[in-house]
Amino acid sequence: MARLIEELRKLPGIGTKSAQRLAFHILRSSADDAEALAEAVREVKARLQLCSICNNITDVDPCLYCASPTRNQRLVCVVEEPTNIATIEKTHYNGVYHVLHGTLSPLHGVGPEHLRVGNLESRVERGDVDEVILATSPTVEGEATAHYLAGALRRGQMRISRIATGVPAGSDIEYVDEVTMTRALEGRRSV
């Protein structure tokens, strides 16, 4: 029991109290449920891996996006986390991805060497990419990461672009903060 509590405590957001509560829940659950949980934990590590091309979480390598013949393999959208891909897939985007698994965060000791960017640099170096879209969030860390990558990936004629910061669709400009309004004005486009 102490060992289970100790293992559960290693999970993010789970303290000693929560770990105890979870451990007691597992203890009271059926043998089938406990086995199903154990198997699911084992299987996720056995089956899932990172795509060798884009770092997305996948059960086949390369992942379904990188292997797709109908996607534009020369248009690469760089995101912070695998979950961000779901957000972009809701749009009509039809290129591929690169997952950083984090952002630069000097205050937390996360420097460029911690970003998983080597395989993206290789793709760019080989001339396999027409455009890199930097789709990190417009937060301090996301902007710092985009700025770093814009410098690190620059090669010849390859386009490097940044997603628009601005007023969200459906929002009244009355409720927009001044940084967003400034960026919305700076990023205005001719119509």
Cβ within 8 Å of residue 18, ≥6 positions away: 8
Distance between CA 128 and CA 119 in Å, rounded? 12
Residue 173 has phi, psi (to 5 degrees) of: -65, -15
Q: Smallest distance, Å, CB 54 to a copy of itself?
A: 17
Binders of a copy of itself: how many residues, by CB under 8 A?
54
Q: Smallest distance, Å, CB 151 to a copy of itself?
A: 10
Asked if 174 interacts with a copy of itself (CB under 8 A), we say yes
Residues facing 50 on adjacent strands: 57
| CA atoms lying within 13 Å on the CB side of residue 52 | 4
Q: Please give the residues from 101 up to 160 whose contact with a copy of itself meets the rule CB under 8 A.
A: 133-139, 142, 146, 150, 159-160
Asked if 87 interacts with a copy of itself (CB under 8 A), we say yes
Distance between CA 113 and CA 160 in Å, rounded? 21
Cβ within 8 Å of residue 72, ≥6 positions away: 94, 95, 96
Q: Smallest distance, Å, CB 69 to a copy of itself?
A: 22
Site pattern 61..80 for a copy of itself (x: CB under 8 A): ----------------x-xx
Distance between CA 164 and CA 171 in Å, rounded? 15
Distance between CA 10 and CA 30 in Å, rounded? 24
Stretch that binds a copy of itself, among 13-21, 27-35, 51-59, 175-183 (CB under 8 A): 175-183
Q: Smallest distance, Å, CB 58 to a copy of itself?
A: 20
Q: Smallest distance, Å, CB 164 to a copy of itself?
A: 3
Q: Which residues bind a copy of itself (CB under 8 A)?
A: 77, 79-81, 83-84, 87-88, 90-93, 133-139, 142, 146, 150, 159-174, 176-191
